[in-house]
Amino acid sequence: MANSNQHFCKDYLVLKPEQASIFDLVRILYSSDIEKRGFIECIEPGNLRAFRRRWLLFVSVLAQKLLLYLEKPMSWTGYIVEMWLNLLSSNGGLGMLLLNLLKGSAAKPERSSAAFRSIIAAIDTRLALDGSISNSDNRYGASLSMMAAKLSYENEAFVEAIVEHRWKMQFLGFFNFWNDYEEKASTTAILFKDNTSNLMVVAFRGTEPFNADQWRTNVDFSWYELQGAGKIHGGFMKALGLQRRTGWPKEIGAPSGTPPFAYYTLREKLRDLTREDEGAKFIVTGHSLGGALAILFGAVLVLHEEAELLERLEGVYTFGQPRVGNEQFGEFMKEKLRLHDVKYMRYVYSNDVVPRLPYDDKTLLFKHFGPCLYFNSRYKGTVLEEEPNKNYFSLLLAIPKSLNAAWELMRSFIIPYIKGPEYKESWALRLLRVVGLVMPGLSAHFPQDYVNATRLGSFSWQVDRQDAAPQQGYKCD
C-alpha cells in the first residue's frame, strides 16, 4: 500500500475520504483486510487490523466525508450569518436597520472593509489590548498572543486598522498560503511588530466556524513519521506547507508564480526582518488549528536547524491547541526547545474539546508535550502535565460538564459587574453558551474565555520556562 509520493518518510497513514464509498466504510467495520481499502494508504496495514483502530479510522473518514458534502451549505450559512451580523452593526441595530430599509438608505457591509467583522469578532467584540498589562509584565506575551490569534480571523483591512491605529504597532503582512495536497489556499497568518518591545508576532488563523475544509483537517487522523522526530499529524503539516513529493526540504526553489507556502514564506520574511534588526525577537501563536500550526512552525525550524531564527524565537503560545504528534515527537520537541531556550505555553480552558483531540491512547498514539496551563471556569490557573479528562468523552463527566456550562451561561450575565464592563458578553456569545448546555466542549473552545484567562490569571516567570517541571496543584495569581 506504499505510494511513491510519500517517500520522504519511512512510515505513514494517509486517509482519502473522497475515495471511500459507503460500502467501503461499512466493510472496514467487519473486515480486517485493510490493504484492500483504497482510501487507506499506509506502510504496515497489519498495525491497523484491530477493531478499535478500524473503528477510529471509520469515524475519521466518515466525519471527513460528511464535511465534504456540507462544504457548500456551511460556507453559505457562514456567509449569511456574517452578512446579517454586519448588516445589523453597520446600521445601528435591528430597529435602525428596518427604518433605513424603509428609507432606502440601509448601509451595505463590504466583506473586505476595515469595518467588517468575522463571526469570531462578533462573539468577542473586544479589540483593545489590556492596558493594565505592560510589555514588562510576564503576562504580556500571552495576552498579546491571544489577542493576535483572535485578530487573525479578520480580513486584511480590519487587521491593519487594528494593528496600526488601535494597538499603535507596525503591520508587516497578511498572508493566504497554499496547501499542496488540497491544491488551494487553506492557511492564513498575520505578522506585525511591537516596536516598543522590539517584538514581532506571527499569528496563524484557527478553525473558522463554517469552514468545512479546516474542520476536515481537525478530524483527519492521518500522520507521517519523520526520521528522528516521530509521528506528526498529516493534516496540520499539509496546511503548514508540506510538499507533496519531497516533504520538508530545507529549500524548495519554487519558480516565479508558484503559490506561497506558510512555513517557507514566513521563514524567509523572518530571516529578512531579523537580519535588518539584530535586536528583534519574535513569538508564534494561534488558537485552535492555528495553535497546531504555531508549534509545528517551530518544529520545522528545528528540523531545518535554523539556529539563527531559533535564537530569536522567544516563545510559542497556543490556545485550545489540538494534539500534533506522538510521544516520540513530544520528547524530541522538549529537548530541542530546551536546547534553544524557547518557551512553549499551551493554554487550555476548562472543558474545551479541541485540546483533547485526537485521542491520547494506544490506538492513535497522539500526545501533548510540555506543561499544560490549565484554567477552570473561574479562571483559576494550574500547571499540569495533562489537562483533566484528557480524552473528553466520558459518561461519568457528562453531567458535571453540563452543569459547568450552565454556570458559564449564568456567569456571562454577572461577570461585567464583578470584573468590569470590558468583560460584558455579546448576545451572540450568550447564544453560544446556550448551545454549550448540550455541547459544553464546543462553547468552551471560542476565544472569549482564553482572552479572559490571559487577563484574569497569571503565571510566574519560572513556570513559564520550557524546562520547568509541571507542579500538580500549583495555583496561579
C-alpha R_g of the chain: 22
Query: 420 exposed, middle or buried (CB, 10 Å; 0-12, 13-18, 19+)?
Result: exposed
Strand 170-179 relative to strand 281-287, pairing: unpaired
Q: Which residues of 104-118 are buried (b: 16+ CB within 10 A; e: fewer)?
A: eeeeebeeeeeebbb
Strand 199-204 relative to strand 281-287, pairing: parallel
Helix H segments across 256-397? 262-276, 289-303, 307-312, 327-339
Residue 55 to residues 31, 114, 179, 262, 466, Cα–Cα distance (Å)? 11, 46, 28, 33, 36
User: Degrees (nearest 5) of the Cα angle 289, 436, 95?
Assistant: 100
183: left (phi over 0), alpha (psi -120 to 50) or beta: left
* Residue 175: CB atoms within 10 Å: 19
Scan for cell 496540520, then name that residue.
Answer: 236
From 152, 186, 288, 350, the catalytic residue: 288
Q: Which three cell numbers stand for residue 475?
A: 495555583
Q: Is 145 a catalytic residue?
A: no
Q: Is 426 a catalytic residue?
A: no
From 233, 287, 368, 445, the catalytic residue: 445
Task: Look at the alpha carbons of 404, 409, 414, 415 in this order and tell me if their dihedral is positive or negative.
Answer: positive
Residue 401 corresponds to which amino acid?
Answer: K
Collect contacts of 161-165 with beta carbons under 8 A, ≥24 apart.
161/114, 162/127, 163/190, 163/192
Strand 11-15 relative to strand 40-42, pairing: antiparallel
From 352, 360, 449, 464, the catalytic residue: 352
DSSP bridge partners of 252? none
Is residue 375 within 8 Å of 455, Cβ to Cβ? Answer: no
Is residue 383 within 8 Å of 355, Cβ to Cβ? Answer: no
Distance separating alpha carbons of residues 348 and 373, to the nearest angstrom: 6
Q: Is 222 a catalytic residue?
A: no
Residue 294 to residues 92, 136, 179, 214, 324, Cα–Cα distance (Å)? 37, 23, 16, 15, 11
Distance separating alpha carbons of residues 397 and 393, to the nearest angstrom: 8
Find, among 157, 196, 149, 162, the residue nearest to 174 by Cα.
Answer: 157
> Catalytic residue numbers?
288, 352, 445
